[in-house]
Amino acid sequence: MTGDQDRGGGQAGARVKDSRQDRLKLALRENLKRRKSQARGRDDAASSEAAHGSLDGGSPDDAGGNEPRR
């Protein structure tokens, strides 16, 4: 009798495991999309800053010799 219960539980366990795998795949995919979006946003901000100069309006080659704030 215990053998019958073990087999039935294995099938249900496999379904639960598959369901968990699917949820993890989906979560990983969403996480990857979010990280890519964040990276694109950082790249856009960096390229925009480079095109418009640094935030303090100076460059490292200023006559004052001061380095820009970071």
Is the pTM above the cut of 0.75? Answer: no
pLDDT single digits (tens) 3-62: 555 555 578 888 889 999 999 999 999 999 999 999 999 888 888 877 776 555 555 555
What are the backbone angles phi and psi of residue 48, rounded to the nearest 5°? -65, -40
Alpha-carbon span 55 to 50, nearest angstrom: 10
Written as six digits, the tokens of 64 are 């004052």
Domain ranges of the chain: 17-46
H-helix segments, the chain:
2-52
3-state secondary structure of 53: coil
Total residue count of the chain as it appears in this document: 70
